[in-house]
Amino acid sequence: MNDHSILLLLHHAVGPIYIMLTAAALLSIISPALNELSSHGKTRFGSIGKCHGKNNYDSDTNRSRYQRLWDFLLHSKYLFANKGRFIDFYAVGSIITTITILLNWSGIHTTTKSKNDHRRLLPAYILLIHLVRRFCECLWVQKSVSTSTMHFAGYLLGVIHYLFLPFVFIPDQEQEQDSGSNVVKSFMVFMGCLFFQYQQHRHHVILGNLRPNTSTGGINSYQIPKGGWFEFVSCPHYLAEIMIYFMLAILIQLQTDTATMQDEENGMLSRIHAQKHWIVLVWVSTNLSISAERTHVWYILTFGKAYPERQKLIPFVW
């Protein structure tokens, strides 16, 4: 199997993978086990006693071996990592995106393709900006206290997401592109994407400035965020991220030949492949909406009546 075949396989795999990730996220709403596995940061504070306290699953002889094993997998401190390891996700995504961009550059310069093929990589360039920015924010803006953790299963899910994400936004050889008639629209979407990049960074700075300059602390180290979109919603940084992916999906849609997208002779997998940019948007929206719900509830439970009346994710709506 040559390099082209491997890349083509990865391109066709991302759609089904993100459908499965979305299904798993939805199941976490009704499954306590999946809820625990996917929760991270301050929303895990309700389980800190389980994660870092006594290993009751070892001492409770009344429980079956299966139950003790299951408790170990859910609550063992050896299966948790500090939330600061989020930086690994953006490192993986940045490296894979850079490699795929360089491979596409090589293909463009060694063939007789049009220079417009560089414009096809615009979504990948924006994605790389996003990933590098998030990497830098993890280094210099965001602060994670020592008790802010995530389960290894959630860590693995994050790695999988950013491992396959570049193949959503890198054009493959099979997909036809438009002739350039949507340049103005693409530019407007590009500017919109940069706007939401700025807004996400702005609200990460607000959150970062609320934390003390120390790696220790617990619930008391958190404060009520104020300013910007925080006046309207509890998780404006999640809203901005969803809008970034929405802009990227529109950009790909504008660049992709409509006839190719609507070919009724294509099978189910081909149609999923053609719509992979919308599928990843659904995945991101679902995942962040669930996280926004958990975060909003945590704020209310933690601060009570002191917490201002605001929506969870969408101003004036939800």
Query: What is the arithmetic mean of pLDDT over 214-234?
Result: 79
Q: What was the pLDDT predicted at 4?
A: 63
Does the pLDDT value for residue 264 go beyond 50? no
pLDDT tens digits, residue range 165-193? 999 998 765 555 554 557 889 899 999 99
Greatest mean pLDDT among 38-42, 157-161, 176-180, 212-216 lies in: 157-161
pLDDT band per the 50, 70, 90 thresholds, residue 259:
very low
Q: What integer best gives the mean pLDDT of the chain?
A: 83
Does the pLDDT value for residue 233 go beyond 70? yes
Q: For helices 3-30 and 86-109, what crossing angle results, to 10°? A: 150
Tokens 């659904």 identify what position?
282
Report helix, strand or coil for 215. coil
What is the pTM (predicted TM-score) of this model? 0.88
Query: What is the arithmetic mean of pLDDT over 95-104?
Result: 92
The DSSP output letter for 47 is G
The DSSP output letter for 121 is T
Does the pLDDT value for residue 300 go beyond 90? yes
Integer Rg of the chain from CA: 21
Rounded to 5°, the CA angle 263-264-269 comes to 85
Question: Rounded to an integer, what distance in angstroms lies between the CA atom of residue 310 and that of residue 192?
Answer: 25
